[in-house]
């Protein structure tokens, strides 16, 4: 071992000199902050420009925009801009999608976390990721070319079987073409399964292991353990996941535009053609002008606000549930 | 104390047969239903991908990939070359704009601002921005760019896609940065390095594979988007490499052709769909490869 | 007799430093750190209060005491690493060769280039062994042969023979004990005067611990070392001076604050402590 000599320092070393690169520190921080603020700027610009472009229509239509279901922008007696039919369509299609997607998603999440053998779990993730990766326009293309033409038979059968029931029978009216609320709902359901599944999986994973093991140690079967220990804990998180899925469904434009049929009407029959907010925008924007175009933008703003609210609530619920359990774990 | 004789027990049987039938059946049924959910999810995956592959490969050929788009929907044949060019152009440009901005923004959030008010506001707004419907992005760029310059262009389309990608890149990058252990930062700072050098020499290299993987997923997502492009990118029938001129994209072409009743248009739509799916799946697979193989093993 | 004149290669002649008070016996080294009235707050919580001590050159000083008594907090004051914790506030003075480290004009980066630190859990960068050791010199823009600096540091850390053939391999391929020695090599590569060690052996097995303790004895010829340790026997084996900390309850807020109880030559602290609390701790009656 070589002998080391002691280090000697002069008295009062100068520690105030700015080391190399400290000006870079400030510049770097400024650059990074600016990049972050771009988000703020863009969002503000989106809000401002779209609202500004929507105002002419809102001024012309007034309250009618949200109270009337008559949409006739080019009527001879002045534009009628009632958005209710589109709001209804968005609501119906999203509801169908949720009713179909949530049980399936929860099932997949449960399957992946509780039942599937370890090696299968990666493949489940892969399958769900692939579902998510397929572009929405491809789903729309498949929907209009394959699903819509071939499903009218099923709709017909359901109409004949359930159409005469009191109250719910109105939902199962006659099916004219395959393009309908129901078809759009089915396609949407496929598209929102991945997001609901992945969030539900995250929530299921936070269930305290001790509780699951306690249930099993008491002699519960796996299903009883799931029902007693897992599901109650994950209920809140699943609600949050559902809301996030709803937000996604409401904003989904292209697939819905292709298979919903583009006929704005408020009817109970799920097999009837209809229209939805984002769908009408994308379908009619090209030929629109003036107040009509402004009205479509107003619809876009309306949709924007609704999805923000839904997404926000969903995120709040999910965060609250996760904080509650991360803290306890 | 008098000892009590232990009660006589039947021989121990730990098999499932001892469970009441009702409980056993309930367990089996529930397992079956839950497993069924997975199968139900697989069905559309196989159906959609399968159909697109079969129908799309019917028209797939080198000519298809390199021919122009016919000007009339009812014509048979033709190709999607201009759309491929358009997709590459708009998505590539959007990536060039959104990824550096997004990574820098995430660096501010996780390394510099952390929990201060500005950082929390940016984080919240980035979350809000991920929920903006893609059609609203298209309307936005239409209003401030297309109307201003009075023409649709590849650049406008790229701008809309970049707005879509930015919050996604910020969030995924921030998550990757968060995974870098704080001890590494402390070690670097204790050696007398400035923050910027700690970030660029230690934190970023450690998180790099995750960041790249997240960026690739954002690119795959942008490549498949239609709504932001419909009003902003225009329409062309032959390939255009200019940013300031109209262009088209695979997604936009699929959308246009899907609702046409003509067989030629439908065939081209499926050909474009197959091309798009291959592109998107390739990027998704590459993203996973980067994440797992190139990650730094600790 | 105290000796406060610097060794031969000093630059400008220094004003005579005040002779160390109550100097016990022989070889009094010059003071490197002079701490007066140091208190550290994390937000409203006072972690440690009223610490007075001096650290002398080329000695190993150990901070011992039960958990939560502020040993690491005080240690991190010496290289301004407490700055990194949100809401941390320091009162009092920490003078390094006469300069108060917490003077507003002082640059933390400059401080950290002269005072190195080794952490409890080995934290090598996910780079090659060579790049880990070369990291510090590269930052300070050291002229001269980088290879030479790396070899010198690895030799001083007693790691050279084990890694000289695989300098380009990832540092993460080393064992825990080797990684910690790498971190020591990394810290001394910039030739800091002082080395702060925060429980450097607590994550290591006894053999690796012994090697590092031997290492400390060797490199103290050149560096001044302050070590925080949970292990009393380690402090007794390795250090020249020992500072014993403990916690006191604050009656008003029902929190505990760390205080320095006793600071003396290690032999005295362990065999003949002046404070009863010290005696209870070192004889194992509590803690």
Please answer whether residues C108 and C80 qualify as being in contact, where contact means their C-beta atoms are separated by less than 8 angstroms: yes
Query: Which of A 16-75 lie inside 8 A of C, CB atoms?
Result: 16-20, 22
Q: How many domains does chain C have?
A: 1
pLDDT at residue C21 in the model: 45
Report chain C residues touching chain B, CB-CB < 8 A.
Answer: 79, 81, 84, 86, 109-114, 116-117, 119, 121, 123-127, 135-136, 139-140, 172, 183, 186-187, 190
- Which phi and psi angles does C194 have, rounded to 5°? -120, 145
Inspect the interface and report whether the beta carbons of A138 and B129 lie closer than 8 Å. Answer: no
Distances (CA, A) of A17 to B154, C107, C108, C111: 51, 7, 10, 10
B46 touches chain A (CB under 8 A): no
Asked whether residue B59 is domain-assigned, the answer is: no
Inspect the interface and report whether the beta carbons of C186 and B298 lie closer than 8 Å. Answer: no
Helix axes B263-293, B81-107, angle to 10 degrees: 30
Give me the domain span that covers residue B104: 65-293
Beta-bridge mates of residue C63: C228, C243
Beta-bridge mates of residue C257: C248
Query: CA–CA separation, B208 vs B217, rounded Å?
Result: 14
List the subunits that have 3+ CB pairs under 8 angstroms with C: A, B
Q: What are the pLDDT digits (tens) for C84-120? A: 998 899 999 999 988 899 988 888 998 999 999 999 9
C131 touches chain A (CB under 8 A): no
CA angle A259, A262, A266 (to 5 degrees): 110
Query: CA–CA separation, A309 vs A244, rounded Å?
Result: 10
Asked whether residue B49 is domain-assigned, the answer is: no
3-state secondary structure B255-297: HHHHCCCCHHHHHHHHHHHHHHHHHHHHHHHHHHHHHHHCCCC
Task: Provide the token pair at B271.
Answer: 């050909």
Q: What are the pLDDT digits (tens) for B61-86? A: 888 898 899 888 888 888 899 999 99
Tell me which DSSP letter residue C170 carries: B
A12 to chain C: which residues are within 8 Å by CB?
14, 97-99
Distances (CA, A) of C95 to A9, A165, C77, C103: 14, 89, 11, 10
Distance from CA of A254 to the nearest CA of B (A): 7
Query: CA–CA separation, A289 vs A232, rounded Å?
Result: 53
Please answer whether residues A104 and B41 qualify as being in contact, where contact means their C-beta atoms are separated by less than 8 angstroms: yes
**Order of strands across the sheet with C241-250?**
C99-100, C88-96, C31-42, C45-56, C255-265, C241-250, C60-64, C224-228, C194-198, C115-118
- Which residue of B27, B126, B137 is in closest CB contact with A223? B27
Asked whether residue C77 is domain-assigned, the answer is: yes
Question: Which CATH number does the domain housing residue C46 bear?
Answer: 3.40.50.300
Half-sphere exposure of A275 (CA within 13 A, CB side): 20
A24 to chain B: which residues are within 8 Å by CB?
194, 196
pLDDT at residue A20 in the model: 62
Share of chain A above pLDDT 90, in %: 39
Asked whether residue C175 is domain-assigned, the answer is: no
Tell me which DSSP letter residue A274 carries: B
Asked whether residue C164 is domain-assigned, the answer is: no
Report the Cα B18 to chain-centroid distance in Å: 50
SS3 C195: strand
Task: Provide the token pair at A8.
Answer: 């000697």
Query: CA–CA separation, B143 vs A166, rounded Å?
Result: 49
Please answer whether residues A272 and A176 qualify as being in contact, where contact means their C-beta atoms are separated by less than 8 angstroms: yes
B260 touches chain A (CB under 8 A): no
pLDDT band at C121 (very low <50, low <70, confident <90, very high): very high
A251 to chain B: which residues are within 8 Å by CB?
131-136
Residue C22's H or E segment, with its range, is none
Over residues A33-54, mean pLDDT: 93
Taking 70 as the threshold, does the pLDDT of residue A329 lie above it?
no
Taking 70 as the threshold, does the pLDDT of residue C158 lie above it?
yes
Please answer whether residues B33 and A107 qualify as being in contact, where contact means their C-beta atoms are separated by less than 8 angstroms: yes
Asked whether residue B192 is domain-assigned, the answer is: yes
Residue C54's H or E segment, with its range, is strand C45-56
C138 touches chain A (CB under 8 A): no
Inspect the interface and report whether the beta carbons of A221 and B23 lie closer than 8 Å. Answer: yes
Over residues B200-213, mean pLDDT: 94
Taking alpha carbons only, the member of A279, A271, A283, A242 closest to residue A90 is A279
B26, B121, B227, B260: best to mutate for the A interface, most A CBs within 10 A: B227
pLDDT band at B37 (very low <50, low <70, confident <90, very high): confident
Inspect the interface and report whether the beta carbons of B192 and C183 lie closer than 8 Å. Answer: no
Least confident of A39-43, B259-263, C74-78: B259-263
pLDDT at residue B295 in the model: 67
Asked whether residue C169 is domain-assigned, the answer is: no
Q: Helices (DSSP H) in chain C: which residue ranges?
A: 71-77, 108-114, 129-140, 146-156, 160-163, 176-188, 206-219, 232-238, 266-271, 276-282
Taking 70 as the threshold, does the pLDDT of residue B22 lie above it?
yes
Asked whether residue C168 is domain-assigned, the answer is: no
pLDDT at residue C19 in the model: 43
pLDDT at residue C3 in the model: 42
Asked whether residue B86 is domain-assigned, the answer is: yes
List the subunits that have 3+ CB pairs under 8 angstroms with B: A, C
Asked whether residue C17 is domain-assigned, the answer is: no
A1 touches chain B (CB under 8 A): no
Asked whether residue C133 is domain-assigned, the answer is: no
pLDDT at residue C18 in the model: 42
B194 to chain C: which residues are within 8 Å by CB?
109
Q: What are the pLDDT digits (tens) for C57-83? A: 999 999 999 988 889 999 999 999 999
Taking 60 as the threshold, does the pLDDT of residue C4 lie above it?
no
pLDDT band at C286 (very low <50, low <70, confident <90, very high): low
Taking alpha carbons only, the member of C230, C270, C266, C246 closest to residue C61 is C266
Distance from CA of B114 to the nearest CA of C (A): 10
pLDDT band at A171 (very low <50, low <70, confident <90, very high): confident
Asked whether residue C51 is domain-assigned, the answer is: yes
Half-sphere exposure of C50 (CA within 13 A, CB side): 7
Taking alpha carbons only, the member of A282, A210, A226 closest to residue A253 is A282
CA angle B196, B214, B127 (to 5 degrees): 85
Separation of first and last alpha carbons in chain A: 51
Over residues B254-274, mean pLDDT: 91
Over residues A130-155, mean pLDDT: 92
Give me the domain span that covers residue C75: 30-123+192-282
Residues in CB range of C267: below 8 A, 6 or more apart: none
Query: CA–CA separation, B272 vs B57, rounded Å?
Result: 10
Over residues A105-110, mean pLDDT: 91
Asked whether residue B284 is domain-assigned, the answer is: yes
A6 touches chain C (CB under 8 A): yes
Inspect the interface and report whether the beta carbons of A297 and B269 lie closer than 8 Å. Answer: no
Query: What b/e string do you get for B114-131 counting C-beta neighbours within 10 Å, with b at 16 or more?
Result: eeeeebeebbebbbbbeb
Over residues C19-33, mean pLDDT: 61
Greatest mean pLDDT range, A65-69, A117-121, A313-317, C267-271: C267-271
pLDDT at residue A76 in the model: 79
Taking 70 as the threshold, does the pLDDT of residue C1 lie above it?
no
Q: How many domains does chain B have?
A: 1
Distance from CA of C193 to the nearest CA of A (A): 6
A281 to chain B: which residues are within 8 Å by CB?
135, 139
Tell me which DSSP letter residue C128 carries: B
List the subunits that have 3+ CB pairs under 8 angstroms with A: B, C
pLDDT at residue A192 in the model: 94
- Which residue of A39, A108, A307 is in closest CB contact with B105? A39
B30, B34, B104, B126: best to mutate for the A interface, most A CBs within 10 A: B34
- Predicted TM-score (pTM) of the model is 0.87
pLDDT at residue A77 in the model: 78
Task: Provide the token pair at C36.
Answer: 């007066």
Inspect the interface and report whether the beta carbons of B190 and C110 lie closer than 8 Å. Answer: no
Cβ-based neighbour number of residue A114 at 10 Å: 17
pLDDT at residue A5 in the model: 75
Cα dihedral A213, A215, A218, A223 in deg (nearest 10): -110
B187 to chain C: which residues are within 8 Å by CB?
119, 123-125, 183, 186
C108 touches chain A (CB under 8 A): no
Residues in CB range of B222: below 8 A, 6 or more apart: B91, B94, B95, B161, B164, B165
Query: CA–CA separation, B205 vs B207, rounded Å?
Result: 6
Taking 60 as the threshold, does the pLDDT of residue C23 lie above it?
no
Inspect the interface and report whether the beta carbons of C101 and A10 lie closer than 8 Å. Answer: no
Greatest distance between any 2 Cα atoms in chain B = 104
Please answer whether residues C124 and C182 qualify as being in contact, where contact means their C-beta atoms are separated by less than 8 angstroms: yes
pLDDT at residue B17 in the model: 62
Shortest CA distance from A145: residue in chain B: B258
- E runs forming strands in chain A: 71-72, 80-81
Taking alpha carbons only, the member of C162, C129, C126, C127 closest to residue C147 is C129
pLDDT band at A211 (very low <50, low <70, confident <90, very high): confident
Taking alpha carbons only, the member of A219, A215, A239 closest to residue A229 is A215
Query: CA–CA separation, B184 vs A291, rounded Å?
Result: 59
Query: CA–CA separation, C136 vs C142, rounded Å?
Result: 9
Taking alpha carbons only, the member of B61, B67, B62 closest to residue B80 is B67
B160 to chain A: which residues are within 8 Å by CB?
none
Cβ-based neighbour number of residue B66 at 10 Å: 12
Kindly report the average pLDDT of chain B as a whole number: 90
Asked whether residue B83 is domain-assigned, the answer is: yes
Query: CA–CA separation, B274 vs B287, rounded Å?
Result: 20
Cα dihedral A25, A31, A33, A35 in deg (nearest 10): -150
Question: Which CATH number does the domain housing residue B254 bear?
Answer: 1.10.3720.10
Cβ-based neighbour number of residue B151 at 10 Å: 13
Q: Radius of gyration (Cα) for chain B, nearest Å?
A: 27
Beta-bridge mates of residue C115: C194
Share of chain C above pLDDT 70, in %: 89
Taking 80 as the threshold, does the pLDDT of residue C285 lie above it?
no
DSSP string for B228-259: HHHTTT---SS----TTS----HHHHHHHHHT
Inspect the interface and report whether the beta carbons of A35 and B126 lie closer than 8 Å. Answer: no
A258 touches chain B (CB under 8 A): yes
Share of chain A above pLDDT 70, in %: 94
Taking alpha carbons only, the member of C246, B38, C184, C226 closest to residue A107 is B38
Residue C286's H or E segment, with its range, is none
Instruction: Quickly count helices (H) and strands (E) in chain A.
Output: 13, 2
């Amino acid at each position: 071992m070589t002998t080391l000599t002691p280090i000697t320092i002069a008295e009062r070393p100068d520690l105030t000199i700015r080391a190399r690169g400290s000006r870079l520190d400030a510049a770097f921080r400024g650059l990074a902050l600016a990049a972050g603020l771009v988000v703020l700027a863009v969002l503000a610009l989106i809000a401002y420009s779209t609202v500004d472009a929507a105002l002419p229509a809102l001024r012309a239509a007034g309250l009618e925009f949200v109270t009337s279901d008559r949409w006739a922008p080019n009527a001879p007696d002045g534009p009628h801009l009632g958005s209710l039919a589109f709001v209804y369509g968005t609501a119906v299609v999203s509801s169908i999608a949720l009713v179909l997607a949530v049980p399936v998603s929860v099932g997949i999440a449960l399957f992946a976390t509780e039942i599937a053998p370890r090696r299968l779990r990666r493949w489940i993730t892969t399958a769900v990721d692939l579902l998510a990766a397929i572009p929405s326009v491809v789903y729309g293309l498949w929907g209009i070319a394959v699903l819509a033409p071939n499903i009218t038979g099923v709709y017909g059968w359901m109409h004949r079987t359930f159409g005469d029931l009191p109250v719910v029978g109105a939902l199962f009216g006659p099916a004219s073409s395959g393009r309908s609320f129901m078809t759009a709902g089915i396609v949407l359901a496929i598209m929102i399964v991945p997001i609901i599944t992945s969030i539900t999986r995250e929530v299921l994973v936070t269930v305290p292991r001790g509780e699951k093991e306690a249930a099993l140690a008491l002699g519960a079967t796996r299903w009883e353990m799931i029902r007693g220990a897992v599901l109650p804990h994950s209920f809140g998180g699943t609600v949050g996941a559902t809301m996030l899925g709803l937000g996604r469904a409401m904003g989904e434009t292209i697939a819905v535009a292709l298979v919903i049929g583009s006929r704005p009407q408020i009817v109970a029959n799920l097999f009837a053609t209809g229209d939805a907010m984002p769908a009408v925008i994308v379908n009619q924007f090209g030929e629109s002008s003036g107040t009509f175009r402004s009205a479509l933008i107003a619809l876009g703003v309306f949709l924007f606000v609704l999805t923000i609210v839904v997404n926000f609530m969903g995120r709040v619920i999910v965060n609250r549930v996760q904080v509650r359990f991360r803290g306890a774990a | 104390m008098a000892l009590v004789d232990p009660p006589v027990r039947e021989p121990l049987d730990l098999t499932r047969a001892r469970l009441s039938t009702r409980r056993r059946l309930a367990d089996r049924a529930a397992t079956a239903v839950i497993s069924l959910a997975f199968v139900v999810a697989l069905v559309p995956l196989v159906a959609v991908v399968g159909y697109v592959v079969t129908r799309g490969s019917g028209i797939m050929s080198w000519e298809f990939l390199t021919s122009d788009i016919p000007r009339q929907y009812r014509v048979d044949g033709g190709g999607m070359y201009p759309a491929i060019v358009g997709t590459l152009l708009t998505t590539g440009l959007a990536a060039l704009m959104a990824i550096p901005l997004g990574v820098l923004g995430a660096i501010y959030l996780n390394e510099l601002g952390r929990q201060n008010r500005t950082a929390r506001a940016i984080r919240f707004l980035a979350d809000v921005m991920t929920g903006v419907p893609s059609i609203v992005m298209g309307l936005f760029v239409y209003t401030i760019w297309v109307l201003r310059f009075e023409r649709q262009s590849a650049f406008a389309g790229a701008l809309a896609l970049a707005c879509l990608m930015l919050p996604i890149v910020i969030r995924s990058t921030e998550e990757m940065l968060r995974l870098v252990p704080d001890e590494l930062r402390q070690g670097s700072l204790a050696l007398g390095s400035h923050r910027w050098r700690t970030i660029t020499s230690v934190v970023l290299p450690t998180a790099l594979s995750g960041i790249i993987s997240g960026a690739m997923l954002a690119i795959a997502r942008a490549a498949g988007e239609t709504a932001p492009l419909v009003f902003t990118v225009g329409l062309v029938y032959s390939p255009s490499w200019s940013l300031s001129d109209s262009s088209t994209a695979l997604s936009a072409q699929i959308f246009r052709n899907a609702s046409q009743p003509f067989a030629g248009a439908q065939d081209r739509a499926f050909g474009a769909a197959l091309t798009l799916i291959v592109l998107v799946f390739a990027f998704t697979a590459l993203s996973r490869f980067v994440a797992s193989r190139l990650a730094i093993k600790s | 007799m105290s000796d406060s004149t610097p060794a031969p290669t000093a630059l400008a002649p220094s004003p005579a430093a005040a002779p160390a008070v109550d100097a016990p016996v022989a070889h009094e080294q010059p003071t490197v750190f002079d701490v007066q009235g140091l208190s550290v707050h994390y937000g409203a919580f006072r972690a440690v209060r009223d610490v007075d001590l001096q650290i002398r050159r080329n000695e190993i000083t150990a901070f011992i005491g039960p958990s939560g008594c502020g040993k690491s907090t005080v240690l991190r004051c010496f290289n301004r690493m407490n700055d990194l914790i949100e809401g941390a506030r320091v009162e009092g003075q920490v003078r390094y060769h006469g300069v108060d480290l917490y003077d507003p004009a002082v640059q933390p980066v400059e401080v950290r280039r002269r005072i190195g630190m080794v952490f409890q859990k080995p934290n090598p960068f996910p780079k090659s062994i060579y790049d880990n050791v070369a990291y510090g010199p590269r930052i300070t823009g050291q002229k001269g042969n980088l290879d030479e600096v790396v070899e010198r540091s690895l030799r001083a850390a007693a790691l050279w023979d084990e890694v000289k053939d695989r300098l380009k391999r990832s540092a993460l391929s080393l064992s825990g004990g080797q990684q910690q020695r790498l971190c020591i090599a990394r810290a001394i590569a910039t030739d800091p005067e002082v080395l702060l060690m925060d429980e450097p052996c607590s994550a290591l097995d006894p053999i690796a611990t012994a090697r590092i303790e031997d290492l400390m004895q060797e490199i103290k010829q050149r560096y001044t070392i302050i070590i925080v340790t949970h292990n009393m026997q380690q402090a007794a084996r390795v250090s020249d001076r020992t500072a014993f900390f403990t916690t006191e309850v604050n009656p008003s807020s029902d929190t505990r604050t760390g205080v320095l109880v006793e600071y003396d030559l290690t032999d005295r602290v362990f065999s003949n402590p002046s404070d009863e609390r010290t005696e209870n701790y070192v004889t194992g009656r509590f803690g």
